[in-house]
Amino acid sequence: MCRHLGYVGPPASVGELLTRGTHSLRTQAWAPKDMRGGGTINADGFGAAWWRDGAGGAPEASRYRNADPIWTDPAVEEVLPQLVSGAVLGSIRSATVGMPIERAACAPFTDGRWAFSHNGAVPEWRKVLTAVISELDVVATRAGATRLFETARLLEAESPTDAAALWVLLRDLLRSAESGGFASSPATALRLLVAAVLRHMPTARLNLLIGDGEQLWATTVHHALSALVTDDVAILSSEPYDDDPRWQPIPDRKLVYAKPGVLSIEELTPPDDSV
């Protein structure tokens, strides 16, 4: 069900981060250790996002994606190592049965300063996310916001997959947060989306990862995630890429925030959470 990695720290080579360590993200493509019943390998494509200065100096995400297995692409060792960034988000894909294997289905999905990856699956995602749209519209209305979502928004997804459709909804929630809307922060956007999906599909697997070039946010719903945070670097990864004892496993049903020197782990859906 995919593996992903987010990095914020001193400028580093994009390609080197994909291959770093004895259990790198690339190695996890064919030898993952903790898939939790979500497949055996991650051979249905990969991608990487990195950040550069955009208009006004604000970070802006760029990306590279390929529908082929990561170990077959020479760009990983010949091109991506030449790209250097202080933030990187990498993903390798294990496609859910019935979903297309194509470049457009590969994370990261990007929008301005944001990059997103999904490790998991939403059964009956079209039906579920249509219901989620209606629910989030109710929330927005209660908060005095104008209508954010329409079912037709799902047609904007880059690919007919649960991950691409989830990104359409999360992207709009993040835009709401940036404009002072009812989703007041990236953390709130993640909470709203995950809580709504789980109400309509309790068996959904929702390890989400987003980055803005300076910070990382993630959720854990069923799948594994570990963190390595020091004063200089913050890394969130589906599996540790080496045996550094500072790696910290993240429990299930958590909301994680990380940047160099800061690691916050909170309950994802507190008992009093309501939408």
Residues that are catalytic: 2
Give the strands of the sheet with 84-92, arranged side by side.
59-66, 46-53, 84-92, 3-13, 234-237, 226-229, 248-249
Taking the C-alpha atoms of residue 210 and residue 51, their distance in angstroms, rounded to an integer, is 13
Helix, strand and coil content of the chain, in percent to the nearest 5, comes to 30, 30, 40
The span from the first CA to the last CA of the chain, in angstroms, equals 28
Q: Report CA torsion sign: 105, 205, 51, 157.
A: positive
Q: How far apart are CA 109 and CA 161, in angstroms?
A: 12
The answer to whether 147 and 215 are in contact (CB under 8 A) is no
Q: Does the CA dihedral 221-140-171-45 come out positive or negative? A: positive
